[in-house]
Structure 1
Amino acid sequence: MRRLLATAVLVAFALVGSAGPALAHNVLISSDPADGATVETGPERITLTFDQYVQDAGTNEVALTGPDGGQWAEGPIEVKGNVVTAPVRPLGPAGEYTIGFRILSADGHPVAERLTFTLTQPGTGTPAAAGTTAQAPQTGTAAPAPAGDDGSGGGVPVWVWIAGAVVLLGVGLTLALRLGGGPADSGKDS
């Protein structure tokens, strides 16, 4: 009975340990401008770098809202592997700008977040029309996939993790049942 319990615990830990990577969404690892940064001149583009491949499905968006509520991101965004880039209009008033993004994670789930930076010197730009955000092109033509990518969205498919977990569970139960007739059971035969 102890062996069965020990095997079940090991299998449970293996299932939990192997499920983590399959269920993880993309995480932002850096941005330019950096979150909380103070800059004297406005950036020409916003660059967001993630820990995993970002799907270029035409649904990704990046918005840049100024202290006056104006929109400063403009034009199509570009997705190359794990890097998303959005063009920015020349900035206007000094103050805090908010970067908002929504991308399609490698595992197929949307990821959204907000970052801020502060512009210390006012620029000469004017905001874009209300409701404008930088978006992936809607032409149906995606940017080329990274080298070695089969275009399936990156990462290991979830079904592989599930199949592996089922195999581990089966092996664990088989071992537990075969090894179950240990020394504690040998005294019953006499």
Structure 2
Amino acid sequence: MPRQRASITVPLISALAALVLLLGGATAALAHSELISSDPDDGASLGSMPSSVTLTFNEDVDPNFAQAIVADEQDVARPVTAEVSGPRVTVPVPPEVRQGAVQVRYRVVSADGHPVAGEIRFTVAGAAPTGDTSSATDAAATSQAPAPAATPSAPAQTPAGQDESASTLWMYVLTGFAALLVVGVGVAIVLMGRRRR
């Protein structure tokens, strides 16, 4: 009788271990790229305007699909060319943006093809200069979209919020399935033990 129980228990334990490994792999696959830090920090108050803003992600960024816009206090959006080095994206601040509230809007694609979009904000003390109005007029004609438009060749872009909610839902489904399977196996072992007594 002990040998029969052992012959049943060992495969069940092996199956549970495989399930745990599978669940762990699926959870890791659902993890997405995200912004982990910026220089200056989001919400920072500065004494002078930085020449550039550095965005650091938790994964490497595809240099072919890094886009950024810098918007000033009047929400005049200026597209800029971002430079990518591994997980770091450097966004130059146009000289026309001198003081006040600044928004840096970005849309990048991680090395695994996942799109990430968002923005950071910071404030530079002092009143905005009023000397040169021609540059502001020209810049006002540029796109004021909340994020850069995806290029035709870029992978299909989906809102970051929907990606995160879908990932969370799948993690809950997989975790619930694993929990139900473990409970079912445990009940089966107990019932089989009672029948053999």
- The answer, yes or no, to whether TM exceeds 0.5 is yes
Instruction: Give the Cα–Cα distance (whole angstroms) in 1 for the partners of residues 26 and 86 of structure 2.
Output: 23
2:74 to 68, 88, 91: 68
Letter in 2 for 1:70: V
Aligned to 2:143: 131
Instruction: Give the Cα–Cα distance (whole angstroms) in 2 for the partners of residues 42 and 72 of structure 1.
Output: 16
1:122-171: CA deviation from partner (whole Å, max 9, x where unpaired):
35475535227998xx9xxxxxxxxxxxxxxxxxxxxxxxxxxxxxxxxx
Structure 2 residues without counterparts, runs of 5 or longer: 152-192
Q: Find the residue that maps to 2:63 and give its secondary structure.
A: coil
Q: Find the residue that maps to 1:89 and give its secondary structure.
A: coil
1:69-102: CA deviation from partner (whole Å, max 9, x where unpaired):
112453x211111111121112546432222111
Aligned to 2:85: 80
Q: How does 1:10-25 map to 2 (within 5 A)?
A: 10-25=17-32
Instruction: Give the Cα–Cα distance (whole angstroms) in 2 for the partners of residues 64 and 120 of structure 1.
Output: 17
Change (3 A) 1:91 1:117: farther
Q: How does 1:132-171 map to 2 (within 5 A)?
A: none
Change (3 A) 1:82 1:42: same
| CA RMSD in angstroms, aligned pairs only | 3.6
Letter in 2 for 1:66: D
Letter in 2 for 1:71: A
2:58 to 51, 57, 60: 51
- Which is richer in helix? 2
Instruction: Give the Cα–Cα distance (whole angstroms) in 2 for the partners of residues 99 and 77 of structure 1.
Output: 11
Letter in 2 for 1:90: P
Structure 1 residues without counterparts, runs of 5 or longer: 139-183
Change (3 A) 1:36 1:24: same
Number of corresponding residues: 142
Q: Find the residue that maps to 1:52 and give its secondary structure.
A: coil
Structure 1 position 117, deviation (Å):
0.8
Structure 1 position 37, deviation (Å):
0.5
TM-score (norm 2): 0.58
Instruction: Give the Cα–Cα distance (whole angstroms) in 2 for the partners of residues 85 and 61 of structure 1.
Output: 10
Instruction: Give the Cα–Cα distance (whole angstroms) in 1 for the partners of residues 22 and 76 of structure 2.
Output: 48
Any conservation in 1 of the 2:68–2:82 contact (CA below 8 Å)?
A: yes
Any conservation in 1 of the 2:108–2:115 contact (CA below 8 Å)?
A: yes
Instruction: Give the Cα–Cα distance (whole angstroms) in 2 for the partners of residues 132 and 45 of structure 1.
Output: 20
Larger relative CO (CA 8 A, sep 6+): 1 or 2? 1
Instruction: Give the Cα–Cα distance (whole angstroms) in 1 for the partners of residues 77 and 34 of structure 2.
Output: 25
Percent of matched pairs sharing the same residue = 35
Letter in 1 for 2:36: I
